[in-house]
Amino acid sequence: MANPAFSLDELIGQEYRQGFYTPLETDTVPRGLDEDVIRLISAKKNEPEFMLQWRLQAYRHWLTMSEPKWSTVVHPNIDYQDISYYSAPSSQKAGPRSLDEVDPELLRTYEKLGVPLRERELLAGVAVDAVFDSVSVATTFKAKLGELGIIFCSFSDAVREHPDLVQQYLGSVVPYTDNFFATLNSAVFSDGSFCYIPPGVRCPMELSTYFRINARNTGQFERTLIIADKGAYVSYLEGCTAPMRDENQLHAAVVELIALEDAQIKYATVQNWYPGDKDGKGGIYNFVTKRGDCRGANSRISWTQVETGSAITWKYPSVVLQGDNAVGEFYSVALTNHYQQADTGTKMIHIGRNTRSTIVSKGISAGHGRNSYRGLVKIAKSAAGARNYSQCDSLLLGDQCAAHTFPYIEVKNPTGQVEHEASTSRIGEDQLFYCQSRGISAEDAVAMIVNGFCKEVFKELPMEFAVEAQKLLGVSLEGSVG
């Protein structure tokens, strides 16, 4: 690009704004993993026997598995015995019943992050479940949602208070044998959110979980389970951050969505884990399994994700379209800067008749970033009249970055119609020149073009998140022009 009017080096030094650490007294189990650690986690959480057995079953299966090697991401070997599998702020031992019982230090942390739990409760009308390291520290709006029969609580509470629902649905979308990281999660998962929307109920507010890794040398393994019963509707948001550290931390979460007949689930993620510094040191390994199951006819699941953080992002939010006329959607913006790597995409498995899916994936690579779209569209023999449209575009900023596309398309039914399109390009000099000739600075022009590039995805996000995502993209990209 011709002679940028600003200094590249200066802008690359942009700091990660959520990188602070909150010194809190924590209750952390020693590093290492064996059956005793799992029993300890289960005991700390007062879990019923079935939960412990499920964990142990998963752990024993995990021992027989090896880490997958097929992806394009590269990282040093992870020592699974060098991670602490449970960490909780010690003041939370009993578990807070209301926000007033929450450690004020914690509340300040969330305020710093822009997630003021108190204010949100009063003003914004967004119910928040905040997960700090291994435990859920607060869930707002519980009472109001309870009136409608909606259950929105931490996973630990759900295991104790609604064991029948948990037992019925846990592992029914992502079985404990699914893959290396999902199995590890099944064995050691600490907390997460649980949400159940009863038949015919339209959840009146956005539900949201905010994940924060704080303690050092811990892994975060949360598990989210959302069930939308017949005709129910819910929109769910997830956000994540972590302190800046030199060593890598592992985050291996599992999210399961279940939509019964006529139900609809919208799941949005703004992922901003610490991405490591500009030399690729530190950062979170974000190895997540997310899958939705459109179990009933006319059900609908949509994933929207904005992935700007993490040293390595490795996830494929997928939809199994079992019910007739079910709809699956995947909208993604993945941004890699510096030495970040992202290998992300989706799987759309069409099983029911007249099922439809849409995939829009936008990858942006800058610096030495590597961005891969990897996706599967499968039209099973039973999926008569299935329809898919996929579009994956990559934008390259800088000559050291890389963008890859691996779309798998498998069609076993002739009435299925599948279209896939992909393009890769950089910001054209003519586009920049045009903007600059209209008095827009090069940097603003790039931000504008990038936002335009991502618009199709951003419009799927709830309003406040869309604003946040745009800002985030601007910050993450700063310094990559040139």
Partner 1 sequence: MNAVTPDSGLHYLEDFTRNKASLPGRQQPWVAALREAAMRKFVATGFPTRHDEDWKYTSVAPIERGRFLLSSGQPRAVDKPQVEARALPGAHLLVFVDGYHVPSLSKVDALPAGVSIASLATLLERRRSGIETQFDAAASYPSAFAALNVACMTDGACVHLAKGVRLDAPIHLLFLSVTFGLAAHTRSLVFAEEDSHAVIVEHHAALGTPVYFTNTVTDIVLGRRAQIEHHKLQQESARAFHIAAITADLAEQSRLISTSFALGAALARTDILAKLNGEGAECSLDGLYVADGRQHIDHHTRIDHNVPRGTSRELYKGVLDDASRAVFNGKVIVHPDAQRSDAAQTNRNLLLSEHAEIDTKPQLEIWADDVKCSHAATVGQLDAGQIFYLRSRGLDEETARALLTYGFAAEMVQRIEHPGLRQRLDDLLRERLPQQLEALS
Chain residues in the site for partner 1 (CB under 8 A): 70, 379, 381, 394, 396-426
Nearest distance, CB of residue 13 and partner 1, angstroms = 22
Distances in Å between the Cα of 425 and the Cα atoms of 166, 322, 363 are 46, 36, 11
CB of 371 to partner 1, least distance (A): 9
Least spacing, CB of residue 279 vs partner 1, in Å: 19
3-class DSSP state of 195: strand
Which of 385/462 has CB closer to partner 1? 385
The secondary structure of residue 122, as a DSSP letter, is: I
Beta bridge partners of 398: none
Q: Which is nearer to partner 1, 166 or 379 (CB)?
A: 379
In whole angstroms, the minimum distance from the beta carbon of 405 to partner 1 comes to: 4
Site of tokens 């598990």 = 223
Task: Tally Cβ neighbours within 10 Å of residue 95.
Answer: 17
Amino acid letter, 113? L
Query: In the bound complex, what is the minimum distance in angstroms from residue 308's beta carbon to partner 1?
Result: 20
User: Residue 232 in contact with residue 196, Cβ under 8 Å?
Assistant: no
**Residue nearer to partner 1 on the CB measure, 226 or 411:** 411
Distance CA 239, CA 212 (A): 9
* Closer residue to partner 1 (CB): 223 or 370: 370
Task: Name the residue among 450, 443, 457 with its Cα closest to residue 473.
Answer: 450
Quote the least distance from Cβ 327 to partner 1, whole Å. Answer: 19
Structure tokens at 374: 């990897």
Phi, psi of 16 (to 5 degrees): -80, 115
Cβ contact 190:148 at 8 Å: no
The least distance separating partner 1 from the CB of residue 353, rounded to whole angstroms, comes to 13
Q: How far is the CB of 421 from partner 1 (least distance, A)?
A: 5
Which residue number, 53 or 423, has a Cβ lying nearer to partner 1? 423
Q: Which of 52/422 has CB closer to partner 1?
A: 422
Nearer residue to partner 1 within complex by CB, 168 or 425 = 425
Running DSSP on this structure, what letter comes out for residue 90? G
Which is closer to partner 1, CB of 205 or CB of 422? 422
Task: Output 134 or 371, the one with its CB closest to partner 1.
Answer: 371
Cβ at position 414, least distance to partner 1 in Å: 4
> Biggest alpha carbon distance in the chain?
69
- β-strands 318-321, 300-307 pairing: unpaired
DSSP letter at 396 equals: E
SS3 at position 152: strand
Provide the residue type at 59 as one letter.
Y
Long-range CB contacts for residues 443-449, cutoff 8 Å, separation at least 24:
443/6, 443/11, 443/478, 443/481, 446/397, 446/477, 446/481, 447/473, 447/474, 447/477
Residues near 452 by beta carbon (within 8 Å), at least 6 away in sequence:
none
Shortest gap between Cβ of 120 and partner 1 (angstroms)?
41
Q: Is the dihedral of CA 333, 338, 340, 345 positive or negative?
A: positive
Q: Please state, in angstroms and rounded to a whole number, the distance separating the CA atoms of residues 138 and 457.
A: 30
Asked if 33 contacts 85 with a C-beta cutoff of 8 angstroms, the reply is: yes
What tokens does 407 get?
């779309």
Least distance between partner 1 and beta carbon 68 (Å):
12
Q: Smaller CB distance to partner 1: residue 323 or 482?
A: 482
Q: Which is nearer to partner 1, 402 or 440 (CB)?
A: 402
* Amino acid at site 281: K
Cβ pair 264, 295 in contact under 8 A: no
- The values of phi and psi at residue 146, to 5°, are -60, -35
Indicate the residue among 281 and 404 with the shorter CB distance to partner 1. Answer: 404
Compute the least distance from the CB of residue 88 to partner 1, in Å.
Answer: 42
